[in-house]
Amino acid sequence: METSVISASTVEQRCYCWHMTCSVNHAAAAMQAARAGLPYGVVMATGGASQLASAGGVPLLTAPLLWLAVAQALWIALASLLRTQLRPMHEFSIAWTLGPAQQHAGTLTVPLGLAVIASGLGEACGSLMASPITAAGLVLAWSATVVYGGRFVAALCSRPLALRAVDGAWFLAPAVLLGDGIATINALPSPGTVQGQALLALATMATCAGLLIYWLVVVVASLRVARHGLADAPRAPWWIAMGCAGLAAAAIAHVLQAPDPPWLEMLRIPLQMAMVATFLAALVLLLPIIAYSLQFLLRTCRFTNRAVWPPTFSTAVLAMGALGTGQTLQLDSITTLGTIAAWATLMLWAITGCWNLHLDLRCRLHPDAGA
């Protein structure tokens, strides 16, 4: 009898341990899937569309799209917080474990989305000295950059770089700094103040650092494609490779159009050359990215899943880069290209949003349709 009790207890303990192991593995898999996504992709796309509404001929959409992006950011953050509160403690600890760098690349959409919002708030509400909302948006963007960017760098340094793990989401790393640079310039107080000079210097350093990191990621991504092709790499994030180049051109244009401190004059020619080079890189990357996307849509896509947001945001920042480059160099042809890209951005945003809303409504009305 005693032996049977011990055996039953042993079996119970083994079952419990097996159940806990499966739960932890399931939670780890869920966390890995969450990290691999682009949580603020929709925020980036909506905020970018807001800033291009005027260039696209519908300035009345600027404010509604901006505040929709704010609402989206708040909703995603609140939903994530509620899910965290409902998790057991061991799942909460898994959420903050440091995994491979590729698991943290997608979370860089959070600081980039906040930077896009802060940039729009700077244009709509005025400088950070005049508007507490602008100041709050800029502080949140830079704070998120430190937190999420720090985790990505720590994950990158904690283990050797796996070249096959590099994909288009890695271009979010330089894009965050470039977005912060634009947001900081849009929130600049009076240029004659000490605060204005300091913030302009910060924006210039962020832009230059983002530009250097962009070309570094281009080299690493090129090696990855040369050795492994696009195997095991999702296609949609590669749009960010093109979009980040446009964002770099836009950030440099913002720096060049800012009130000139004496130290900026010596950087003018190198920055103009860098702006042209990165904008040309965006145009070169645009062709194969569109070709691969059309091939996917025509041959592989069954139009049953949610549409992704990177093409919308990348087209938006390409438009910003074209408009900034054209205005800085006074080239009407490039400015016209930026206007066309602005129209394309608004169309992509509307099509993607309507399609995803349609799928959400169908799923709610017919929950067993996909079973």
Rounded to whole angstroms, the Cα distance separating 103 from 112 reads 17
Report the Cα–Cα distance between both ends of the chain, in Å, rounded. 48
Which residue range(s) make up the domain with 87? 24-365
Within-domain flag for 3: no
Asked if residue 4 belongs to a domain, the reply is no
Report yes or no on 221 lying in a domain. Answer: yes
Task: Answer yes or no: is 185 within a domain.
Answer: yes
Domain of 205, CATH number, reads 1.50.10.150
- Answer yes or no: pTM beyond 0.75: yes
pLDDT number for residue 16: 35
Task: Give the up-direction half-sphere exposure of residue 168: CA atoms within 13 A in the CB hemisphere.
Answer: 24
232 found inside a domain: yes
CB 332 within 8 A of CB 326: yes
For 334, counting Cβ atoms within 10 Å of its Cβ (0-12 exposed, 13-18 middle, 19+ buried), the class is: buried
The pLDDT value given to residue 4: 38
Output the pLDDT for position 229: 85
CB count within 10 Å of CB 153 equals 13
**pLDDT attached to residue 11:** 35
The predicted pLDDT at position 65 comes to 97
**Total length of the chain:** 371
> For residue 256, which amino acid is it?
L
Q: How far apart are CA 242 and CA 228, in angstroms?
A: 20
Q: Residue 371 falls within a domain, yes or no?
A: no
Q: Total domain count for the chain?
A: 1
Measured CA to CA in angstroms, residue 64 lies from 49, 115, 133, 140, 225 at distances of: 11, 18, 16, 21, 40
Please report whether residue 69 resides in a domain: yes
Q: What is the pLDDT of residue 272?
A: 94
What is the residue whose two structure tokens read 């991504």? 221
Whether the Cβ atoms of residue 326 and residue 33 lie closer than 8 Å to each other: no
- 17 within some domain: no
Provide block-wise average pLDDT over 10 residues at a time, the chain (371 residues). 39 37 36 61 96 94 96 93 64 64 90 97 88 94 96 88 87 97 91 82 95 96 89 84 96 90 83 95 92 83 82 96 95 95 96 91 71 43
